[in-house]
Amino acid sequence: MTPAPHTALVVVDLQTKLLAALPRAAAVLARTALLLDAAHAFGLPVAATEHAPERIGLLDPAIRPRIPDQHIITKTCFSAAAEPGALARFQALQRSHLVVVGAEAHVCVLQTALGLADAGWQVTLVADAVASRREQDRACALTYAATQGLSVVTTEMLVFAWLGHAGHPAFRPLIRAIKALA
């Protein structure tokens, strides 16, 4: 797993109307919020996408304040990497490794992750921070991503890899947040 200083977090389409259709929405939002807090603790840049926000709504209010306005990419392509101008915005993060979370796992998350990998980034999907309306679609997307060379981890695996040791100043608040996850 790539160390934190080389990493940025990408949140894909965790929008209000889409989340209403996802059975694991609360768990995905809680894990995404934890990862956003961890990214901030480590000084990692974050970016997010909103797919057709005029129809699907804006990013959920539980996570929206944690993402800088200038790092929100509006898109209509399923892959954010295919959206005109988006690759330049990801390059501006100046990171070689992108950690991707969001919805739906088998559509926009998978296509974005594969597109970013094709563009040269090392990409990791966080299995417990992605969702689809149907569990079979989510599971298949994660399996397929792994066969395509993407890393697949859990929130806890990633946070502990970023921490590196229990003496890190962010350890105590992050371990409390991990323990609070359902």
The one-letter amino acid at 20? A
The structural domain count of the chain equals 1
- Domain with residue 73: its CATH number is 3.40.50.850
Decide if pLDDT at 2 tops 80: no
- Residues 119-136: what's their mean pLDDT? 98
- Domain residues for the domain of 85 are 4-180
Decide if pLDDT at 92 tops 90: yes
Provide the β-strand partners of residue 125. Answer: 100, 152
Instruction: Give the per-residue pLDDT at 3.
Output: 63
What is the tens place of the pLDDT at every residue in 5-17?
Answer: 899 999 999 999 9
The model's confidence at residue 4, banded by pLDDT at 50, 70 and 90, is confident
- Residues 146-163: what's their mean pLDDT? 96
Closest CA to 112 of 127, 99, 131: 99
Which residue's structure tokens are 């981890």?
Answer: 153
The one-letter amino acid at 110? L
Rg (CA), the chain: 15
pTM, rounded to two decimals: 0.96
Provide the β-strand partners of residue 7. Answer: 97
The model's confidence at residue 80, banded by pLDDT at 50, 70 and 90, is very high
